[in-house]
């Protein structure tokens, strides 16, 4: 898999981190038999952000890019809080706080907004930490299969 304008080794390694962490934390595969390319082309959004004080997105597969109406470079330069409108950011922050307290959460819902201003509600989202081989937290991720435009 080669994403224009990216370091392919980061892409593949990060996708493996997403898949491995999900299996480790949630206890089931995110995508059966998946590799980096399958995850990038999965029919549902997968996103992650780093551990900065104001986390920036580090990954968004093609489904996430299409839903947020952004290419790779624009999406992965954006603070993750901007995936939601200001009125919905506190609720989003509370979901991440709950995930941090519980290890992961598997039934999140909330309103998000695309680059063009299209609003959509996500349902049944799973949020989990990205853990390195040594158990150090490297970021956080989310994926969902259910959403509707509002």
**Any domain includes 1:** no
pLDDT in tens, 136-147: 999 999 999 999
How much is the pLDDT for 56? Answer: 98
In the chain, the number of structural domains is 1
Decide if pLDDT at 5 tops 60: no
Which residue's entry shows tokens 């609003």?
A: 119
How much is the pLDDT for 11? Answer: 84
How much is the pLDDT for 45? Answer: 98
**Any domain includes 28:** yes
**Any domain includes 142:** yes
Decide if pLDDT at 7 tops 70: no
**Any domain includes 84:** yes
How much is the pLDDT for 102? Answer: 96
**Any domain includes 15:** yes
Stated pTM of the model: 0.92
Tokens of 72: 């790779």
* Domain of residue 79, residue span: 8-149
DSSP-based three-state secondary structure for 4 = coil
pLDDT in tens, 53-101: 999 999 999 999 999 999 999 999 999 999 999 999 999 999 999 999 9
How much is the pLDDT for 47? Answer: 98
User: CATH no. for residue 35?
Assistant: 3.30.450.20
**Average pLDDT in the 24-36 region?**
95
Decide if pLDDT at 10 tops 80: no
**Any domain includes 3:** no
CA 26, CA 100: separation in Å to the nearest integer?
Answer: 13
Binning pLDDT at 50, 70 and 90, where does residue 4 land?
very low
Long-range CB contacts (within 8 A, 24+) of 119-126? 119/85, 119/149, 119/150, 120/67, 120/147, 120/148, 120/149, 120/150, 121/147, 121/148, 121/150, 122/146, 122/147, 123/147, 123/148, 125/95, 126/22, 126/26
pLDDT in tens, 98-134: 999 999 999 999 999 999 999 999 999 999 999 999 9
């Amino acid at each position: 898999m080669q994403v224009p304008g990216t370091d392919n080794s980061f892409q593949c390694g990060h996708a493996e981190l997403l898949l491995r962490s999900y299996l480790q934390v949630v206890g089931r595969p995110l995508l059966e038999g998946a590799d980096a390319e399958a995850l990038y082309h999965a029919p549902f959004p997968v996103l992650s952000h780093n551990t900065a004080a104001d986390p920036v997105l580090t990954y968004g597969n093609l489904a996430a890019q299409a839903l947020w109406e952004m290419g790779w470079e624009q999406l992965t330069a954006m603070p993750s809080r901007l995936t939601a409108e200001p009125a919905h950011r506190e609720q989003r922050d509370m979901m991440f706080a709950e995930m941090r307290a519980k290890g992961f959460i598997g039934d999140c819902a909330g309103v998000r907004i695309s680059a063009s201003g299209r609003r959509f509600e996500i349902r049944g989202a799973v949020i989990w930490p990205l853990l390195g081989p040594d158990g150090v937290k490297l970021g956080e991720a989310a994926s969902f299969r259910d959403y509707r435009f509002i």
